[in-house]
Structure 1
Amino acid sequence: MSQRSERRGIHVDQSELLCKKGCGYYGNAAWQGLCSKCWREEYQRARQKQIQEDWALAEKLQREEEAAYASSHGSQSQSPAQPSQSQPSLTPFSKFEEKKTNEKTRKVTTVKKFFSPSSRTAPKKGTTSMSERERDEERERREKFQGRRESHGETLLRDLKGIFTQNWEMSSPTEESHEGKSHSPSFTRQPSVETDRVSRDFVDFLKNLQKPGREIHKQSRAFIESMANKKDLGADELSECVQDFYQNMSDRLMSHFKGSSEKVERVMDQVEKYIMTRLYKSVFCPETTDDEKKDLATQHRIRALHWVTIQMLCVPVDEEILEVADSVVKAITDIIEMDSKRVPRDKLACITSCSKHIFNAIKVTKKEPASADDFLPTLIYIVLKANPPRLQSNIQYITRFCNPSRLMTGEDGYYFTNLCCAVAFIEKLDAQSLNLSPEDFERYMSGQVSPRRQDDPGSWTDSGSSINPLISQLHHNLDVLSSLEKRQQQVVDGAMALQTELNEWQDSVAREVQEILEKYPLEIKPRASAIDAENVENDRLPPPLQPQVFAG
């Protein structure tokens, strides 16, 4: 089987990573293959269409309600003194109420955006009189048609415009100190240590910007407080709010810094860090989504694929090399550590670090730069080995609340797109992708047979036209252990021989020293006390000459 056919199920063309619209940016599986820019355009068009449909439905319900009310009111005014005869006229109205309730159950998330809650939506009690019902419906109609009706998208846009209505100038110290005391109760009731640290770092960073720094801080805090009143929104609506804030802030910074993209990007990184750290608990894996359900499904899927080996994925990595094994461990650690980060940019940094360790492992193994066809299978293998916690929630969190410029271009966007492809591949993994027969794949997935279990002879049979790769791996490991045992014995024998040689050398040196001392004994003479100490005839010497002085 050729190398190309082996990778038939894993190979992904690089053009498939780009946006389906052909804009040149990286796409995302969560955005149906579109980039963040094209996805927002498609989402807004679909949203406007849905709003129009909801308005049409709401107006239809209103007309039917008014017709039913008029019919019921006319029947009651004609025969007010005969309750038994008016009962048949109320029956159609009750059926209409039941039909209307069913319609509103299916459209509850959209109709609530346009109509304020009233007593009409509450279930009617049997003890409520007809006059009370009439008054409630009259009051409801007055509330509906008073003022200008607006869609939920217009409400979000109005809130965001309210944040950016003030001039781009410094606020006074009094306003800053007053603002520091007006915290939102939902986000500052129990501030964590990390939140306080990020807030201090954000303020310290903005001090260097001087004039716009305080205004950026004020705008960011106002946005956080406005988000506290939007807890009932869905994840997509929350994402729209954050992305709109990013766009507005970026546009204002671009005009202030006169087109300096580096400065704008640096400030936006700090803004994203500050905002998302404060909003993390309320927007990560919200209850309105099925992110948690997807996390459990992905985790169960990866556990069911525990039997997949590195040979089945054709991963060009040799973990017997110490440097390669170390890179694999670091890559697994990085992808697991992603869940502990709060800021989308920090989660992307973990993905980028993991990918760089993967490229290093491939480079060391192949002794040449890694290609994209080598990277994706290795990334799939790392995800299978790591089984990262809350993988789907983290991917969705990055998709919804990360600065879109990071996901559209650059290495962060490339690695994140590959991770999404790896997760999608794991969800659709089949026998053909692993070069297995469908029967073996089903047995492995069901747990009836495990390739790593030796007590079942059927698990070690040939798979297809070649030997089961697990058998080859087993024999290879046994050979490695045998060679290690031989090398260990050689090292032990060499150490014992070296110890024997050292002992013999020490004995031989001692013997030679003793022989030399016996052959050439050392004689030490006593030290002389003076030059004439041994001269015994001193008395026979003439007296020493004395100087004489002659007169004359």
Structure 2
Amino acid sequence: MMSQGRVPERRGIHVDQSELLCKKGCGYYGNAAWQGLCSKCWREENQRQRQRQIQEDWALAEKLQREEEEAAYASSNQGQSQTSSSQLGQSQASVPPHAPTPLGPFSKFEEKKTNEKTRKVTTVKKFFSPSSRTQAKKEGVCEEGSGVFRRESHGEAFLKDLRAIFTLNTPAEEAHEGKAPSPSMCRQWSVETERVSRDFVDFLKQLQKPGREIHKQSRAFIEAMANKKDLSADEQSECVQDFYQNMSDRLMIPFKGSSERVEVVMDHVEQYIMTRLYKSVFCPETTDDERKDLNTQNRIRALHWVTIQMLGVPLDEEIPEVSDSVVKAITDVIEMDSRRVPRDKLSCVTSCSKHIFNAIRVTKREPASADDFLPALIYVVLKANPPRLQSNIQYITRYCIPARLMTGEDGYYFTNLCCAVAFIEKLDAQSLNLSVEDFDRYMSGEGSPCGESRGIGAGSGPHADSPALAEAQRQLETLNDLTQRQEKVLSSACELQAELAEWEQSVIRQVKGILERYPLTLPPRPPQPAIDSQNTDDDNLPPPLTPQLL
């Protein structure tokens, strides 16, 4: 990056397209949330880590159980020795020397050993069992077939917690275990949920037998997830992704390997599943997504002074079509938060990106390049400051069908959005070709590029570095001109009204004067002759007929 002379075109904002791909070289798009891996490689790596963690937890549980058994055995053995010694002294004092030693206390050794063995170690349990799990809080279990209530040991409770975390029961299994249905399943659905459910059922009716099985499995999964609210966000994501994979594999058989038909069905399944689960899985309390949202919003607010020239964005907002495309892109990225389905949120990102490409194409009068797209996307995100941006990105990452994020234009645009957010978080003076002092002053609000540009020559103008402010200034000037013209029109209208009133009075005066000067006198009208007075042939006419009575 040049520090002297001419400012470089991209000003430090450049991402090689190879950096958008998975770090393991599989050819799919990577994601910053997955440490640069694609969803497939990330799941494989995550599953390996989870398997190692499970093995370590099982080994720890078994170790704790063995230590507890040894401690219980030692405690019981010590208590048995003391009891035997005291009772032996008493028996020796009361029993003849040749009498046999009593074995009564030893017969209770197994009972005491069992009681001590099954004692719960609450202090250690707090370190390994989340307090929210109801299974970990149970005081004991009822032994099957015996009807005897006993207290479960720490090792057994810990193993039970592990099974609860990594085992997803179906509704039939939960009903067999005597679990009550989740209260959340009985809540009143929203209008959107009812519409999506109705559309899902109508779509499945066309598939007949496969449709019934899909509906059954989807409802079972939703009910199972409603009873697994204590899972973390990563565990919930793993359950959803496993359901997608299993459902997709099952659909290959009735659809005879047609990936296009399976993709259409999976789109409807995703819409139905995620609409029903949206409130419980979007920005859950177990994550720090809300804190990240606030940090990102505050960061973008602090960068409100960043201009197009600083980012090297090839956009000319003075062109109406470009300005409209930028506004539409900002609207799309803001609208992403109002959607529930990951696919719909992803479509907002795609629509926003296409508007950006159109704005670049109109400005440069040539097809836009990928190197111009990322700075423009950063500029749009800075101007939009989308609500809950981090939560929406995490939601798409966790619950979208993996194929959309790995390939295609949706995956490409979403990967660029993640890069844009990561760049905004790490934006510094060098990226904007500014000095550290100026960058810190702008961030603290002590100065702004627009304010300092007022001291530059008149050719640059006070708003040369800010097209938005320059456009606002032009609009204000136009408004002032329209105001002046309106005032002139109103003044002319008032003058015209006064002139018309004066002209009306002058006409009335002139008419009166003429009438006074030349009074109007009308001569008497001559008598009107009879109608047939000029007819000379009346005498030759026959007499008129007279009516006769018969």
TM-score normalised to structure 1 length: 0.70
1:213-266: CA deviation from partner (whole Å, max 9, x where unpaired): 222111111111111111111111111111111111111112211121111111
**Worse overlay, 399-408 or 2-11:** 2-11
Residue of 411, 414, 422 corresponding to 2:412 = 414
Measure, in 1, the Cα distance between the counterparts of 2:150 and 2:472: 86
Correspondence for 2:54? 51
Measure, in 2, the Cα distance between the counterparts of 1:436 and 1:277: 46
Correspondence for 2:492? none
Aligned pairs for 1:192-211 within 5 A:
192-211=190-209
RMSD over aligned Cα atoms: 4.1
Q: Write the letter of the residue equivalent to 1:293.
A: R
Per-residue deviation at 1:449? 2.3
Correspondence for 1:155? 167
Correspondence for 2:229? 231
Correspondence for 2:529? none
Correspondence for 1:267? 265
Per-residue deviation at 1:147? 11
Measure, in 2, the Cα distance between the counterparts of 1:292 and 1:364: 38
Per-residue deviation at 1:350? 0.5
Correspondence for 1:318? 316
Aligned pairs for 1:536-547 within 5 A:
none
Measure, in 2, the Cα distance between the counterparts of 1:286 and 1:478: 41
Measure, in 2, the Cα distance between the counterparts of 1:281 and 1:486: 50
Correspondence for 1:309? 307
Per-residue deviation at 1:206? 1.3
Measure, in 2, the Cα distance between the counterparts of 1:468 and 1:55: 71
Residues 211 and 295 of structure 1, relative CA distance in 2, 3 Å threshold: same
Larger radius of gyration: 2
Per-residue deviation at 1:149? 9.8
Per-residue deviation at 1:393? 0.7
Residue of 15, 27, 31 corresponding to 2:30 = 27
Correspondence for 2:129? 108
Residues 147 and 295 of structure 1, relative CA distance in 2, 3 Å threshold: closer
Residue 70 in 1 paired to residue 91 in 2? Answer: no
1:275-315: CA deviation from partner (whole Å, max 9, x where unpaired): 11111111111111111111111111111111111111111
Per-residue deviation at 1:443? 1.5
Q: Write the letter of the residue equivalent to 1:49.
A: R
Measure, in 2, the Cα distance between the counterparts of 1:153 and 1:375: 43
Correspondence for 2:530? none
Measure, in 2, the Cα distance between the counterparts of 1:69 and 1:107: 21
Residues 354 and 479 of structure 1, relative CA distance in 2, 3 Å threshold: closer
Number of matched pairs: 439
Residue 144 in 1 paired to residue 133 in 2? Answer: no
Per-residue deviation at 1:484? 6.2
Measure, in 1, the Cα distance between the counterparts of 2:473 and 2:152: 83
Aligned pairs for 1:116-515 within 5 A:
117-119=137-139, 139-141=151-153, 144=156, 151=163, 155-156=167-168, 159=170, 185-452=183-450, 454=451, 472-473=465-466
Measure, in 2, the Cα distance between the counterparts of 1:485 and 1:347: 39
Measure, in 2, the Cα distance between the counterparts of 1:20 and 1:246: 24
Measure, in 1, the Cα distance between the counterparts of 2:464 and 2:311: 16
Residues 437 and 468 of structure 1, relative CA distance in 2, 3 Å threshold: farther
Residue of 40, 44, 47 corresponding to 1:41 = 44
Residues 482 and 289 of structure 1, relative CA distance in 2, 3 Å threshold: closer
Residues 430 and 215 of structure 1, relative CA distance in 2, 3 Å threshold: same
**Worse overlay, 66-75 or 478-487:** 478-487
Per-residue deviation at 1:188? 4.0
Q: Write the letter of the residue equivalent to 1:107.
A: F
Per-residue deviation at 1:139? 3.5
Residues 146 and 102 of structure 1, relative CA distance in 2, 3 Å threshold: closer
TM-score normalised to structure 2 length: 0.70
Measure, in 1, the Cα distance between the counterparts of 2:241 and 2:357: 32
Q: Write the letter of the residue equivalent to 1:450.
A: S
Measure, in 2, the Cα distance between the counterparts of 1:341 and 1:154: 30
1:36-82: CA deviation from partner (whole Å, max 9, x where unpaired): 11111000000000111112222222233233333433444444699
Measure, in 2, the Cα distance between the counterparts of 1:434 and 1:145: 56
Confirm or deny: 8 A CA contact 1:316 1:366 kept in the other structure. Answer: yes
Q: What 5-or-longer segments of structure 1 have no aligned partner?
A: 83-99, 121-135, 164-181, 496-552
Measure, in 1, the Cα distance between the counterparts of 2:470 and 2:327: 22
**Overall identity of the aligned pairs, in %:** 70
Residues 141 and 429 of structure 1, relative CA distance in 2, 3 Å threshold: same
Per-residue deviation at 1:436? 0.6
Correspondence for 1:505? none
Residue 17 in 1 paired to residue 23 in 2? Answer: no
Residues 187 and 309 of structure 1, relative CA distance in 2, 3 Å threshold: farther
Q: Write the letter of the residue equivalent to 2:310.
A: M
Measure, in 1, the Cα distance between the counterparts of 2:334 and 2:201: 31
Measure, in 1, the Cα distance between the counterparts of 2:438 and 2:161: 61
Aligned residue for 1:19, secondary structure, equals coil
Measure, in 2, the Cα distance between the counterparts of 1:102 and 1:443: 52
Residues 68 and 459 of structure 1, relative CA distance in 2, 3 Å threshold: farther
Confirm or deny: 8 A CA contact 1:451 1:460 kept in the other structure. Answer: no
Confirm or deny: 8 A CA contact 2:129 2:158 kept in the other structure. Answer: no
Measure, in 1, the Cα distance between the counterparts of 2:424 and 2:370: 18
1:139-170: CA deviation from partner (whole Å, max 9, x where unpaired): 324992999997457513x659989xxxxxxx
Aligned residue for 1:231, secondary structure, equals coil
Measure, in 1, the Cα distance between the counterparts of 2:58 and 2:205: 48
Residues 102 and 449 of structure 1, relative CA distance in 2, 3 Å threshold: farther
Confirm or deny: 8 A CA contact 1:10 1:433 kept in the other structure. Answer: yes
Measure, in 2, the Cα distance between the counterparts of 1:192 and 1:334: 24
Q: Write the letter of the residue equivalent to 1:14.
A: Q
Measure, in 1, the Cα distance between the counterparts of 2:331 and 2:248: 34
Per-residue deviation at 1:470? 6.0
**Worse overlay, 140-149 or 19-28:** 140-149
Aligned residue for 1:140, secondary structure, equals coil
Measure, in 1, the Cα distance between the counterparts of 2:420 and 2:472: 32
Residues 153 and 8 of structure 1, relative CA distance in 2, 3 Å threshold: farther
Measure, in 2, the Cα distance between the counterparts of 1:3 and 1:251: 57
Confirm or deny: 8 A CA contact 2:165 2:231 kept in the other structure. Answer: no
Per-residue deviation at 1:366? 0.7
